[in-house]
Amino acid sequence: MRTSLPEAPAGSPARPGNRRLPPLVLHILAALGALAVIVVLTLVTDEFTNLRIATVGYYLIAVAGLTLLTGLTGQVSLGHGAFMFIGAYTVALLVRRVPAFPLWADLLLAAAAGGLGGLLAGAAAARLRGPYLAGATLALAVGLPALTRRFQDFLGGSNGLSFTVHSRPAGLAGVVPELRWQTWIVWLSVLVALVFVVNIVRGKLGRTFRAVRDDEVAAALSGIHVGRTKILAFLVSAVCGGLAGGLQAYLLGTAAPGSFTPALSLSLLAAVVLGGLGSLWGALWGAIALVYFQAWSEDLADALHLNTDVANNLPLAVYGVILIVVVLAFPRGIQGGFQRLRGLLRRTAEKKENHENH
């Protein structure tokens, strides 16, 4: 990796202050800052809002992984929920069968198990593209949860597994509510994972990914092993998916096939599109939208005292409408919208400056 270049390349706008800091350090600092924001946020909100913040956290890492796969290497996966399934069951089984394992080991293994699944899926997927790849990954989302039926005694059948994870140090009981503590753990893990992902996206590997996405032939001609790169992208994104599933299981104390339907995979992909394809900031907006649009539209349905049939379908309808509107207005998602807005503001500012100069 060439991350420790002493100076920014000539010609790039030198930002004062951070010229000497390598990107990795910057990313770690940013992650620490984000963690501080989360801690403050959880301290000023109630316990249930903490749960929602934590939910945004694990969706964020899942969506970020999918962003890397779909936005960066151009592989459309309709089966990302399957990696969450793997992660969730890994944590569930470890907590139940090996209770002596610490949580961080459980989560690392969940990410590793997701990665292993991604490696296998990626090896098959590297030979497919476009709709064929989408179909194959969808099959993964449909088929994998059926394993619980095949190994009913081990995986608990349709009923799934339930368990309680005790991660809060005994000394903090009565000081920090369990859910708040869990939210911190979720976000800490997510931010650690994000540092990895951001480093990959900004580094050499990220450039390789983009090269493969933009033109496979050109990439191959310039010495990039296309198949291997695609598998690598699958691996990284599946690690994120596995971690997200593991965090979900840790947070909710459950792993059941009913939670990992193809609808989950589709809504993850929708969140990628909604947030902004190919942008990690977009993953954050997507994850927030996933959690909050649903909650808001449910509250709205409650407040309006709608007929139950309408109220039940309102959240999905609202989500669909927002997706359509955002994509029509900002083809590059919410993040694209923000960028356009920023560009617009800058241009107006420049124009104004020009006016004043003349």
Partner 1 sequence: MRTTRTVAGIAVLALALSACGGAGESDTSGTQAADSAVGVTKDSVVIGTHQPLTGPAAPGYSKISVGARAVFQSINDGGGINGRKIDYKVEDDGYNPTKTVEVVKKLVLQDKVFAIVGGLGTPTHSKVVDYLNTEGVPDLLVSSGALAWDNPQKAPMTFGYQLDYTREGKIQGKYIKDTFAGKKVGYFTQNDDVGRDTQAGLDQFIKDQTVAKQGYDSANTDVTPQLSALKAAGAEVVVCECIPAFTALSILAAAKIGYKPQFVVSSIGADPATLSGLLQDFAKRGGASVSSAQLLNGLIGTGYLPDVAQTSDPWVAYFKGIHDKYIPKEQLTNTLFYGMVLAYTFAQALKASGPDPTRQKIVEAMSSGSLKGPGLTPFGFSKDSHSGYTGGYVFKINPDTTTTVIQQPAVTDRGTGAITPYSGERATPDQVNLLGK
DSSP codes of every residue in 180-228: HHHHHHHHHHHHHHHHHHHHHHHSHHHHHHHHHHH-HHHHHHTT--HHH
Nearer to partner 1, 231 or 252 (CB): 252
On whether the CB atoms of residues 169 and 103 are closer than 8 A, the answer is no
Locate all alpha helices (DSSP H) within 253-279, ordered by sequence.
262-275
Alpha-carbon span 141 to 263, nearest angstrom: 9
Kindly tell me which residue out of 192, 220, 306, 327 binds partner 1, with binding defined by CB under 8 A.
192
Does residue 258 interact with partner 1 by CB under 8 A?
yes
Q: Please state the closest distance from residue 86 (CB atom) to partner 1, in A.
A: 15
Does residue 113 interact with partner 1 by CB under 8 A?
no
Q: Please state the closest distance from residue 168 (CB atom) to partner 1, in A.
A: 8
With CB under 8 A as the contact rule, which of the stretches 130-138, 253-261, 280-288, 327-335 interacts with partner 1?
A: 253-261
Alpha-carbon span 239 to 110, nearest angstrom: 8
With CB under 8 A as the contact rule, which of the stretches 127-135, 169-177, 210-218, 269-277 interacts with partner 1?
A: 169-177
Kindly tell me which residue out of 124, 210, 261, 327 binds partner 1, with binding defined by CB under 8 A.
261
DSSP state for residue 69 in the 8-state scheme: I
Alpha-carbon span 347 to 343, nearest angstrom: 6
Residues 134-163: x/- map of binding to partner 1 (CB under 8 A)? Answer: -----------xx-xx--x---xxxxx-xx
Residues 288-327 within binding reach of partner 1 (CB under 8 A): 298, 308, 311-313
Q: Is 19 left (phi over 0), alpha (psi -120 to 50) or beta?
A: alpha
Residues 195-224 within binding reach of partner 1 (CB under 8 A): 195-196, 199
On whether the CB atoms of residues 73 and 233 are closer than 8 A, the answer is yes
Residue 239 has φ and ψ, to the nearest 5°, of: -60, -45
Alpha-carbon span 49 to 124, nearest angstrom: 41
Query: How many residues make contact with partner 1 (CB under 8 A)?
Result: 68
* Residues found near partner 1 in the complex (CB under 8 A): 1, 3-4, 22, 24, 28, 46-48, 51, 55, 91, 94-96, 98-104, 106-108, 145-146, 148-149, 152, 156-160, 162-167, 169-170, 173, 179, 184-185, 188-189, 192, 195-196, 199, 248, 250, 252-254, 256-259, 261, 298, 308, 311-313
